């Protein structure tokens, strides 16, 4: 079986790429018209540093790569957001790539995200993705800001629960932005507990070295197409490491979501769209 990058899939076209996979007409139909529109709720636990063990049980809704555009509608986004809404998270984090192909999709996308953010007790924070830079630039920052969602670009935000603080370290994206994990983490007070929010997962070791206790990422879409034995056949630049689910970057947990949306070709095989509930749990020790 040949291995394809997402670039080669784009260059060769969806039809030739799918033909190379020897899929039946029925499988092609499901991959294109059913699988991308059946989001799943995933659950993951991340262990807290001892300094903020009192935040045990804090629930974070993590939503990334919504890609509202020609293939993902506002209604598709709403269906995914409702899965998170039903869980009543304490905090909401957004991982970038909100729309695809035209800035006209941003207003409605921001509105829906803002409605969910307004219902979330500890608020919502976001980072930019590469599509946000290439399509909308500062407009994405403005649109999300207008609905009450701050964009963290190499900056941190403090989330207070009781007398303790969780720091969200929003690192700029790596392809078109100016990622600065060290500079970002330097803004966390000494001894502070920081959760890195970074669109691309590939350089997670840098966030770990700078002191983050965990990282949430998107960008890869999990590959969109996962074949038995072969694995993902289409991965973007800066998306070839920590590709899907929970992994480790020098001991720091990294969770990479499959994302809500799709990019060209707009198919999913063995890789359903995802929204995530991340629960922070206190580490247990045994004597």
Q: DSSP letter string over 5-67?
A: -HHHHHHH-HHHHHHHTT--HHHHHHHHHTGGG--EEEEEEEEEPGGGGGGTT-EEEEE----
Tokens of 200: 């691309």
pLDDT digits (tens, 9 = 90+) for 225-275: 998 888 998 899 999 999 999 999 999 999 999 999 999 999 999 999 999
pTM of the prediction?
0.93
Topology annotation, domain 6-282 = Purple Acid Phosphatase; chain A, domain 2 (3.60.21)
Q: How do the domains of the chain map onto residue ranges?
A: 6-282
User: pLDDT tens, 45-102?
Assistant: 999 999 999 999 999 999 999 999 999 999 999 999 999 999 999 999 999 999 999 9
Given a contact cutoff of 8 angstroms between Cβ atoms, the answer to whether 204 and 215 are in contact is yes
């Amino acid at each position: 079986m040949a291995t394809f990058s997402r670039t080669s899939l784009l260059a060769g076209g969806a039809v030739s790429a799918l033909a190379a996979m020897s899929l039946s007409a029925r499988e092609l139909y499901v991959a294109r018209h059913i699988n991308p529109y059946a989001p799943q709720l995933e659950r993951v636990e991340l262990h807290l540093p001892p300094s903020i063990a009192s935040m045990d049980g804090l629930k974070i809704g993590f939503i990334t790569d919504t890609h509202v555009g020609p293939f993902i509608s506002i209604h598709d986004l709403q269906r995914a957001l409702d899965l998170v809404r039903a869980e009543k998270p304490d905090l909401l984090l957004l991982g970038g790539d909100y729309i695809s192909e035209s800035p006209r999709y941003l207003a409605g996308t921001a509105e829906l995200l803002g409605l969910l953010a307004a219902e979330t007790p500890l608020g919502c924070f976001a980072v930019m993705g590469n599509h946000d830079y290439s399509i909308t630039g500062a407009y994405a920052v403005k649109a999300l800001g207008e609905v009450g969602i701050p964009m963290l670009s190499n900056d941190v935000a403090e989330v207070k629960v009781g007398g303790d603080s969780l720091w969200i370290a929003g690192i700029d994206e790596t392809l078109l932005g100016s990622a600065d994990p060290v500079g970002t983490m330097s803004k966390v007070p000494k001894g502070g507990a920081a959760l890195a929010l970074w669109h691309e997962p590939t350089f997670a070791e840098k966030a770990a070295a700078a002191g983050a206790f965990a990282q949430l990422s998107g960008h890869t879409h999990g590959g969109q197409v996962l074949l038995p034995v072969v694995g993902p056949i289409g991965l973007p630049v800066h998306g070839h490491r920590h590709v899907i689910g929970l992994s480790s970057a020098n001991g720091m947990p990294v969770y990479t979501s499959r994302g809500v949306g799709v990019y060209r070709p707009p198919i999913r095989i063995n890789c359903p769209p995802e929204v995530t509930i991340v629960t922070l749990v206190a580490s247990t020790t045994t004597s």
